Structure 1
Amino acid sequence: MITLQENIGTLKKKDLIIATIIAFIMGLFFIYIGGIPLVLTFIPGLIISLGLLYFMYNKNIELPTAKSFVPLFFASFAWQFLHFNEEFVTGFYTQFPNLFGARAYSVERFVTINMISYFAFSVGCVAVFTKRLKFLVLPMLFYIVYGMIGNAITHTWWVIFHKDYFPGFFTAQFYWVLGFIVLSTFLKSKKATFITYGIFAVIVIPLIAFVELYHT
């Protein structure tokens, strides 16, 4: 029987060390399986996620209780499957790489990237709140930062930039609200959440815009 641990406490130095190693491994995986498109989108999201962990450690912010966070996390995660479905049926795996002058992903690669990621996000959350493996906050935080906030920002940008529908746009719009709710619950700070949105946009939008313009 799985028992959720209500009070997880704060991050420790060892959690940051292990999380940093995990971030490095995740980064290598993204580069290997996704190439330049993921370097320009996933890697900044990963760095921001790791930065938030250090922020929580330095500010001695306690992780949220399981009761307040776990249902919210998996409710948002359920929406991600609808987002993945919209991307899949509208050809995101071909249009997304083409933005950066890269070859289209095969269906197998696109599904593999997402399914391995979803496995890591969900197992990470369960492990944090059942086994107190707090270093696994990193993959679940990456889902919040990129899977929700990043998707809201980038999909909206692509529609504005190209003045046309971009695969995944409609379901990504819900993340403007859902991402804010989930991250502010996790950080216990609306201000830090607003800043996270701003940092992501300031870093990623100019980066992907420059590369897209270069390849047009």
Structure 2
Amino acid sequence: MKKIIMEIQEGLIEGDAQFVKEKTEMALACGIKAKDIIEQGLLPIMKSIGQKFRAGEIFIPDVLMSSRAMHASLYVLRPILTNCRKASKGCIVIGTVAGDLHDIGKNMVSMMLEGAGYTVIDLGIDIPVSDFITAVEQHNPDVLAISALLTTTLSEIREVVEFLKERGLRSQVKVIIGGGPVTPEFAMDIEADAYAANSFCAIEAVEDLMKGRVGFFSVTEHFHD
């Protein structure tokens, strides 16, 4: 077991998606539980990569390669995880606002939340306010994650929060926002529950929200498409 887990970790570090996928399949065939693959194989390495990124030791291309390798593992594990309700730590709805076609940062947050054990409903990009509201009504998520990468689309985030209030839904869901032009000050101004400057911070912030704490994680780096 230890050897296969270590090989998965090595594949993540190298960003070798095919290798990680094959080793994940092998781990399952050997009887290793999906939960153990995630908690012992994926999460420690992705946390380490996040720390190195924040320290300036590695850069966005390296992070993307490792994230895609993690996604290859999650692709194998997803059918098992979706059949095991206990595997889900909570439900997250995520999307990029209307008028904005950027998705790299959003996709990384989605992948890493899935890797951390959450059920993620990814609405995609260019999502109008009404669709965010409908998703909250339909899925009753614990957290709504909203992304904007353009200064011109920041107002869309505000609109989503305002409509949640108008529909009486605001108290039912925690809201986390992020993206290049988003700032902690803007998040506080629109009364979001959390802000994260990048995907690694987003995971920490969501963990805090799930524990009933406000999660504001601010660093200087941002992901851009």
Taking structure 2 as the reference length, the TM-score comes to: 0.28
More helix by share: 1
Higher relative contact order (CA 8 A, sep 6+): 1
More strand by share: 2
